[in-house]
């Protein structure tokens, strides 16, 4: 089935919204600026997820051109005072939280520059597929600024505070293979193969029950942040809620009656 456009209100031209059945596609469409993130693009991301049709079960996020995103459009920093800059950063936090803790899993396809705010955006996605052209950097330190899109919160959870500190203090850049081993991506594929892999993964996510996906996206990261007794209690509640649904009971019955595939490692 060919992709079709999704009609979403207030969607600017710098983002493109499409769908193929249950899979939604959001594309950063500012290639002439290496998909640098300005207010219009970030608010476009917000509009997309706010207007996402209810029958979309997973989203694939990509970038037009040779790069996923080269980060914040630095020209915007020169027109803000301190108070305005705080509000600008908090706006990014709100938008990225909206899909990190949203309705559906988001799979990012990373290629070329995944730098600064682009890495912050990628770190808010649930699954990241990198092509071999992808490279990662946090150049804010050498530019006299600091991350403002949630990077201080999300990126250390992926690679550790010490490694992020090194990236910011020294301007160190990592390639795609390093990014895979560090945890910046989950999958590494050849150049040009990222979208196909992301769609495959999105279809797997879409096949899960909505409650299971909700538990993984909303409960799991919170459990990781709280004390052990509280985590055990939240886990028990989510396990009971998810397994008690009619759809879950039907799937369990299919497995027990050997109508469902087993989990096997294919090598």
CA distance 110 to 134: 6
Which residues span the domain enclosing 236? Answer: 210-256
CA distance 225 to 231: 8
183 and 65 in a single domain? The answer is yes
Domain for residue 265, yes or no? Answer: no
**Is residue 69 within 8 Å of residue 113, measured between CB atoms?**
yes
Per-residue pLDDT of the chain (267 residues; tens, 9 = 90+): 579 999 898 899 999 999 999 999 999 999 999 999 999 999 999 999 999 999 999 999 999 999 999 999 988 776 678 898 899 999 999 999 999 999 999 999 999 999 999 999 999 999 999 999 999 999 998 888 999 999 999 999 999 999 999 999 999 999 999 999 999 999 999 999 999 999 999 999 999 999 999 999 999 999 999 999 999 999 999 999 988 777 767 776 666 667 656 666 664
- pTM exceeds 0.75, yes or no: yes
121 and 226 in a single domain? The answer is no
Q: Dihedral sign, CA of 217, 222, 224, 230? A: negative
What's the CATH code of the domain at 233? 1.10.12
Query: CB within 8 A of 42, min separation 6: which ones?
Result: 91, 92, 95
User: Tokens standing for 168?
Assistant: 């910011």
Domain for residue 261, yes or no? Answer: no
Query: CB within 8 A of 21, min separation 6: which ones?
Result: 1
Q: Which string of DSSP letters, residue by residue, matches 106-138?
A: EEEEE-SEEETHHHHHHHTSSEEEEETT-EEE-
* H/E element, 95: helix 82-100
Nearest 10 degrees: Cα torsion 184, 189, 193, 194: -10
**Is residue 117 within 8 Å of residue 177, measured between CB atoms?**
no
What's the CATH code of the domain at 169? 3.90.226.10
Active site residues: 120, 140
DSSP 69: B
90 and 135 in a single domain? The answer is yes
Please identify which residue in the block is written with the tokens 């039907």.
Answer: 250
């Amino acid at each position: 089935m060919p992709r079709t456009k999704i009609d979403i209100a207030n969607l600017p031209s710098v983002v493109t919204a499409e769908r193929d059945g249950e899979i939604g596609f959001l594309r950063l469409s500012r290639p002439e600026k290496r998909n640098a993130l300005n207010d219009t693009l970030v608010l476009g991301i917000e509009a997309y997820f706010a207007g996402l049709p209810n029958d979309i079960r997973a989203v694939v996020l990509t970038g037009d051109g040779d790069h996923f995103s080269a980060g914040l459009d630095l020209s915007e920093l020169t027109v803000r005072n301190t108070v305005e800059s705080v509000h600008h950063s908090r706006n990014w936090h709100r938008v990225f939280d909206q899909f990190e803790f949203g309705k559906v899993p988001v799979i990012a396809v990373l290629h070329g520059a995944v730098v600064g705010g682009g890495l912050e955006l990628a770190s808010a996605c649930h699954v990241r597929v990198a092509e071999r052209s992808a490279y990662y950097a946090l150049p804010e330190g050498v530019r006299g600024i600091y991350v403002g899109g949630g990077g201080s919160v999300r990126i250390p959870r992926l690679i550790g505070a010490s490694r992020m500190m090194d990236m910011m203090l020294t301007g160190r850049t990592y390639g795609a293979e390093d990014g895979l081993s560090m945890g910046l991506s989950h999958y590494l594929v050849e150049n040009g193969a990222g979208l196909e892999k992301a769609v495959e993964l999105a279809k797997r996510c879409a096949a899960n029950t909505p409650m299971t996906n909700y538990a993984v996206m909303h409960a799991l990261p919170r459990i990781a942040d709280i004390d052990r007794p509280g985590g055990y209690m939240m886990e028990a509640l989510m396990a009971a809620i998810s397994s008690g649904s009619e759809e879950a009971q039907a799937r369990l019955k299919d497995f027990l009656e050997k109508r469902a595939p087993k989990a096997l490692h294919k090598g």
